[in-house]
Amino acid sequence: MTSSPVEDRVILSCSVKSSSSVSPRWLSPGSSVTLSCEVEHESAGWSFYWYKAVPDLSHKSGSYSYELLPASSKGTADNSYIIHGQTHTAGYVCRAGRGEPHVYTLYSQPHFVWSGDLHPSASLSVSPDRVQHFTSDSVSLTCEGNSAEWRVGSFLLPDLLSFCSDWGTMNGSTCHVQKIQSSNAVFWCESGSAFSNAVNITGHNDDLILLSPVHPVTEGHSVTLGCKWRTENLLSKEFFYQNDTLIQSESRVEMIIPAVSKSHEGFYKCQSSGKESPQSWLAVKCQ
């Protein structure tokens, strides 16, 4: 006999133990991920079950099938579960059960951990290639890898999951966004078997934005930072800041770091004609 779900709401949360201060949802390759499952009005006797979310591309709006994680087939008494060696973007789900026969809660909503590292089986590129955009800007998100079918997902911070069909137009492997919204969102690609790297894109109503790469920069490579005015023909010299500290004493049109190191990782912003851009995180990865 199939047991019916009870109406206790399940909340899944994830944290990355070795993550940077940017967000606990972003991970460093190989770090451990801790999943936590919370049952509303929780009482004793629950066992917890942990699943990997697998994209179901038959539904463009974004549904998932669930694969039970190892060592979770009989449930865990603890409401947390540690995944070691996580390297790529992934989604997870939990539910709880108790009694004989087991009565289960509903599945939680998918909860994601994100990696910025590119992967050959699934990768996401952004055009224009920058984190910050004006709200009047159009943006293209292109999926590449070992799949003929893709969808583009977005997580609007703090907690809203949506897909290209909700805010853009999917043409082949590219999602075209006519106008970026004023928001802070994470985007990624999904195939039937994989998640791509994730990118952070922000939309701004400001007159000035920072030009910085959307992907992590590899140690030893060069990177160029710049400022962009909403009014294209307004030109002036700029000052650049890392973690609110002025980097150079003289103004310049752009800033080039010829060989990036881990010390260059941090929050950057630019200043021009008395105005400051919003700040964005520049990530640096090992060679």
Could you tell me if residue 172 is left (phi over 0), alpha (psi between -120 and 50 degrees) or otherwise beta?
Answer: left
Position 33 scores a pLDDT of: 84
Domains (range + CATH), the chain = 10-113 (2.60.40.10), 116-205 (2.60.40.10), 207-287 (2.60.40.10)
Q: Place 102 in a pLDDT band, splitting at 50, 70 and 90.
A: confident
Look up tokens 């951990």; give the residue: 113
DSSP string, 143-176: EEES-S--EEEEEETTTEEEEHHHHSEEETTEEE
How far apart CA 167 and CA 213 sit, in angstroms, is 23
> Tens of pLDDT along 191-208?
988 899 999 999 999 999
- High-pLDDT (> 90) share of the chain, %: 43
Tell me if residue 164 falls in helix, strand or coil. helix
> Tens of pLDDT along 4-33?
444 444 455 543 221 222 234 777 766 788
**Nearest Cα to Cα of residue 194 among 284, 118, 108:** 118
At position 20, the amino acid (one-letter code) is S
User: What residues contact residue 33 under an 8 Å CB cut-off, 6+ apart?
Assistant: 14, 15, 16, 17, 27, 82, 83, 86, 90, 92, 113
> Tens of pLDDT along 206-217?
999 999 999 999
